[in-house]
A = this chain, B = another copy of it.
Amino acid sequence: MSENGMVSRAKVLTIDTMNPTVKKVEYAVRGPIVQRAVELERELSEGMKKPFAEVIKANIGDAHAMGQQPITFFRQVLALCSYPELLNDSTFPEDAKSRAHRILQSCGGNSMGSYSASQGIDSVRQDVARYIERRDGGVPCDPDDIYLTTGASDGIVTMLKLLVCGEGAARTGVMISIPQYPLYSAALAELGAVQINYYLNEETCWSLDIGELQRALDEARQYCNPRALCIINPGNPTGQVQSRECIEDVIRFAAKERLFLMADEVYQDNVYAEGCQFHSFKKVLFEMGPEYSNTVELASFHSTSKCYMGECGFRGGYMEIINMDDEVKAQLTKLVSVRLCPPVPGQALMDLVVNPPQPGEPSYDNFIKERTATLSALAQKAKLTEQVLNTVQGISCNPVQGAMYSFPRITIPEKAIKEATDKGQQPDMFYCMKMLEETGICLVPGSGFGQKDGTYHFRMTILPPNDKLQILLNKVKEFHQRFTQQYS
């Protein structure tokens, strides 16, 4: 400010004076390549000429955006809860009405517009607990251990936040798989925790190897205090489904090495490969007996965003915490209270996911039909993706056993690597950016998830509708051939 009218005030908040941990955050799933895809869409809509007619976003697990239809029953109940006048509408099925009635009864003033308890609506947490008990063959679940969340991301960040402490060599370290889902690296960067990488084994279908966990942990102990181990099962971006044996080994490792376990299980219904089955960490832990079930600290996460429902926009989710110290739990409850409550429509949706129509109820048959159709379509697309990509010389792709992604390895010619490096770009970012500009297909480079040095990948969702997926895969194939030729 100045008396002579000159305006020369420097900004209070600049790139040099902002929070340095925020600057370290990276999130490739919505990174530069997606920003360019949005620009290209705008340019297309403004009539600009491109070598493609539309942008296909295969970068993010956003099922409805790719044309997947919501489950009718879920949406009927949400409409009833939003506008309870509809409870008098005879076209709505009775089971949808009774579910809506029950949810509204648990809301202050019978309105989804009221805040809920910070931990989530009591009756929803009870339903979640019963769902977990059914899923896990009767292993007991206490609703007090359930925290409803704003999507799974919110729960994961909250748990990591509790775990971070110390400075220098005493700083909390958290083990995450490489490749990983970049929420983990982003949250750890923001919290100033140390990221400890353990590598999944691409040669054996992205399996988790205890020897590799041990290597990563032993090395990390030299410069930080490793306190937690994160597992994503089924895997994102890698699509593997862990065997029961592997989960037991991980639990034994966590117990031996005193690590807090975080199990990201948001794809628990997305298992496609024959012989594969989802095993929850909770169930395996309890079946290993009291030596483990009474001691190993575990947080597991679920969401409304994936599986057969794909309701990402509602930001629903829950976490279950096992063997958490009582005082810490009180701190957790306090911490979540500051943000008041997770979105109530998302809580309602979570309730429907864990308490869907039952046999004999009017909506049951249609619910099963819709769920089955979505899951079988995904299973087919998982197979198709693997098959087509593996026909391309220079692309090799593990089976998509579960989740929603393929993470194929790509061979990038030396000349292309050099051109990328000269531009200061990761070679797979260079590859994906070029693919986007030439074909309109938006993928995420493997470097955004982490990969072994000298290897290159991309993540591609299997979500586009069958005909579009077929076109997309053919375009990827053609692009890869052209790219390889161009740089050979």
Report A's interface with B, CB cutoff 8 A. 1, 5, 7, 9-15, 17-20, 22-23, 25-27, 29-31, 38, 60, 62-68, 70, 75-76, 78-80, 82-83, 86, 89, 107-109, 111-118, 150-151, 153-154, 157, 161-165, 182-183, 186-187, 190, 227-228, 252, 255-256, 258-260, 290-291, 294-295, 297, 309-315, 323-325, 327-328, 331, 334-335, 337-346
Minimum distance in angstroms from A265 CB to a CB of chain B: 18
> Do B68 and A78 touch across chains, with their CB atoms under 8 A apart?
no
> Do B334 and A27 touch across chains, with their CB atoms under 8 A apart?
yes
> Do B314 and A343 touch across chains, with their CB atoms under 8 A apart?
yes
* Additional A-B contacts beyond A70-B111, A187-B338 (20; CB < 8 A): A7-B294, A9-B295, A12-B228, A15-B327, A18-B165, A18-B328, A22-B162, A25-B334, A64-B109, A65-B109, A79-B86, A82-B345, A113-B309, A150-B339, A153-B340, A183-B338, A190-B335, A313-B341, A313-B344, A343-B346
A117–B34 alpha-carbon span in the complex (Å):
10
| Known pairs A67-B109, A109-B67; A255 contacts B9 (CB<8 A) | yes
A107: B residues at CB distance < 8 A: 64-65, 313
> Do A313 and B115 touch across chains, with their CB atoms under 8 A apart?
yes
A118–B315 alpha-carbon span in the complex (Å):
13
Partner of A163 from the list B18, B23, B66 (CB cut-off 8 Å) is B18
A80: B residues at CB distance < 8 A: 79
> Do B255 and A17 touch across chains, with their CB atoms under 8 A apart?
no
> Do A18 and B162 touch across chains, with their CB atoms under 8 A apart?
yes
Query: What are 24 A-B pairs with beta-carbon distances under 8 A?
Result: A12-B297, A13-B324, A15-B328, A15-B331, A18-B165, A19-B163, A19-B164, A62-B114, A65-B107, A65-B108, A65-B109, A65-B111, A68-B109, A70-B113, A75-B83, A79-B86, A153-B338, A157-B339, A312-B340, A313-B341, A315-B341, A315-B342, A315-B343, A343-B345
Ordered nearest first, which 6 A-B pairs have the shortest CB separation? A65-B108, A313-B344, A79-B83, A64-B111, A30-B337, A15-B327
> Do A113 and B163 touch across chains, with their CB atoms under 8 A apart?
no
Partner of A345 from the list B7, B12, B62, B345 (CB cut-off 8 Å) is B345
> Do A112 and B12 touch across chains, with their CB atoms under 8 A apart?
no
A214–B83 alpha-carbon span in the complex (Å):
50
Considering only CB atoms, which chain B residue lies closest to A23 in the complex?
B331
> Do B67 and A153 touch across chains, with their CB atoms under 8 A apart?
no
Minimum distance in angstroms from A217 CB to a CB of chain B: 13
A86: B residues at CB distance < 8 A: 79, 86
Partner of A108 from the list B26, B62, B89, B162 (CB cut-off 8 Å) is B62
> Do B7 and A165 touch across chains, with their CB atoms under 8 A apart?
no
A328: B residues at CB distance < 8 A: 11, 13-15, 18
> Do B65 and A165 touch across chains, with their CB atoms under 8 A apart?
no
Partner of A13 from the list B60, B76, B83, B162 (CB cut-off 8 Å) is B162
A27–B338 alpha-carbon span in the complex (Å):
6
> Do B327 and A14 touch across chains, with their CB atoms under 8 A apart?
yes
A328–B341 alpha-carbon span in the complex (Å):
29
Minimum distance in angstroms from A148 CB to a CB of chain B: 12
> Do A325 and B19 touch across chains, with their CB atoms under 8 A apart?
no
| Known pairs A30-B118, A154-B339; A108 contacts B19 (CB<8 A) | no
Considering only CB atoms, which chain B residue lies closest to A345 in the complex?
B345
Partner of A291 from the list B7, B60, B76, B150 (CB cut-off 8 Å) is B7
> Do B331 and A113 touch across chains, with their CB atoms under 8 A apart?
no
A314: B residues at CB distance < 8 A: 112-113, 343-345
> Do A19 and B339 touch across chains, with their CB atoms under 8 A apart?
no
A113: B residues at CB distance < 8 A: 63-64, 70, 309-314
Minimum distance in angstroms from A111 CB to a CB of chain B: 4
A310: B residues at CB distance < 8 A: 113
Most chain B beta-carbon contacts within 10 A, residue among A187, A228, A311, A337? A337
Considering only CB atoms, which chain B residue lies closest to A111 in the complex?
B64
Partner of A227 from the list B13, B29, B259 (CB cut-off 8 Å) is B13
| Known pairs A78-B83, A312-B340; A7 contacts B295 (CB<8 A) | yes
